[in-house]
C-alpha cells in the first residue's frame, strides 16, 4: 500500500505490476468512494501482463489525506500531478461516475501521455438533484440510505447495498458534499469531442444516477469511441456485474 506526497497531500494507492516501462492503467473512483469500489477489479492485473495497474484514492477519500477538492478541474489537476510524480509515460484512465468526469477533463487538457480510456457510468453533464444535495447536507445517515437505493439495480444483492452504505458512513460528510457540488458544476459538453484516444463507454441499463442517454451523448461526441450497455446493472455496474465489466475492460486493453 504505497503512499506519495502529491501537491502536499499524502496520497494512497494500490500498485500492481513489475515492468516499469509498461503503460499504467489508472482506476479513478467516484464521489464519496475509494479504491474499495474497485475490489472486484483487482484481479484484472493477474490476467494482463502488458500493463501495470494503479487504484487511486483521491484527496480526502479512502486512506488519502485532505478533505476532498471543490471542482472536477482541481481533481484533474491533482491526477495530472500524480501521474507526473510517478513518472508515468503512458496511461489508460478507467473512471467511474465522478472519476469519469475527472478522466474527461484530463483527456481534454493533457492528452499527450494518454493512450486510451474507459468511462463508466458518467457523462458530459449530469446534474445532482436538489433532494440529493439537501439530504447530504442534512444527514449522512439519510444520504447513505438514499444513495444505496439509487446506486444499484433492483436486482442487486442486499449485501452489496449494505456494504456500500457502511463505507459511505465512514466517509467525511464535507468531502461528500464537496464532491456533489463539483459534479453539479461539471460540464464538458463543448469540449468532449476533443478527446481523441480510443474510448470505451460502459453503462448500466438500470443506472438511475447516470442514465444511458448520458453515455450515448459521450458515444456520439467522442470520435474514436464505442459503447457497451450491461443488462441488469445500475450505477455500480463493476460491482453488480463484475465478470461482464472485467471482460469488457480486459478486451479493451488487449485491443489497445
Q: The domain that contains 119 carries what CATH number? A: 3.40.50.1820
- Whole-number pLDDT of residue 1: 62
Residue 151 has a CB neighbour count (10 Å cut-off) of 26
pLDDT tens track for 72-110:
999 999 999 999 999 999 999 999 999 999 999 999 999
Residue showing cell 444527514:
139
Residue span of the structural domain in which 50 resides: 3-255
* Inter-residue long-range contacts of 7-12, CB under 8 Å, 24+ positions, other chains counted: 7/77, 7/78, 7/81, 9/59, 9/64, 9/65, 9/66, 9/78, 10/64, 10/65, 11/56, 11/57, 11/59, 11/64, 11/65, 11/82, 12/57, 12/62, 12/63, 12/64
Q: How many domains does the chain have?
A: 1
Residue 206, C-beta contacts closer than 8 angstroms, at least 6 positions apart: 153, 154, 232, 233, 234
Instruction: Show the low-confidence residues of the chain (pLDDT under 50).
Output: none
Number of helices (H), then strands (E), belonging to the chain: the values are: 10, 8
What pLDDT is recorded for position 18?
A: 81
pLDDT value of position 20: 80
d(CA 242, CA 137): 32
Amino acid at each position: 500500500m504505497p503512499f506519495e506526497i502529491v501537491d502536499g497531500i499524502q496520497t494512497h494507492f494500490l500498485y500492481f505490476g513489475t515492468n516499469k516501462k509498461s503503460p499504467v492503467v489508472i482506476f479513478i473512483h467516484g464521489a464519496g468512494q475509494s479504491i474499495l469500489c474497485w475490489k472486484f477489479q483487482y484481479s484484472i492485473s493477474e490476467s494482463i501482463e502488458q500493463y501495470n495497474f494503479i487504484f487511486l484514492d483521491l484527496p480526502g477519500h479512502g486512506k488519502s489525506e485532505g478533505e476532498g477538492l471543490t471542482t472536477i478541474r482541481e481533481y484533474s489537476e491533482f491526477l495530472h500531478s500524480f501521474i507526473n510524480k510517478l513518472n508515468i509515460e503512458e496511461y489508460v484512465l478507467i473512471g467511474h461516475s465522478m472519476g469519469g468526469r475527472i478522466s474527461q477533463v484530463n483527456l481534454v487538457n493533457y492528452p499527450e501521455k494518454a493512450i486510451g480510456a474507459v468511462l463508466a457510468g458518467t457523462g458530459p453533464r449530469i446534474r445532482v438533484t436538489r433532494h440529493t444535495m439537501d439530504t447530504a447536507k442534512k444527514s449522512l445517515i439519510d444520504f447513505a440510505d438514499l444513495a444505496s437505493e439509487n446506486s444499484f439495480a433492483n436486482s442487486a444483492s442486499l449485501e452489496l447495498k449494505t456494504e456500500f452504505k457502511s463505507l459511505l458512513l465512514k466517509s467525511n460528510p464535507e468531502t461528500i458534499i464537496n464532491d456533489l457540488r463539483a459534479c453539479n458544476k461539471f460540464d464538458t459538453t463543448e469540449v468532449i469531442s476533443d478527446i481523441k484516444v480510443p474510448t470505451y463507454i460502459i453503462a448500466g441499463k438500470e443506472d438511475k444516477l447516470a442514465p444511458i442517454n448520458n453515455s450515448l451523448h459521450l458515444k456520439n461526441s467522442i470520435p474514436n469511441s464505442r459503447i457497451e450497455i450491461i443488462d441488469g446493472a445500475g450505477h455500480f455496474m463493476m460491482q453488480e456485474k463484475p465478470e461482464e465489466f472485467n471482460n469488457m475492460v480486459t478486451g479493451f486493453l488487449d485491443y489497445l
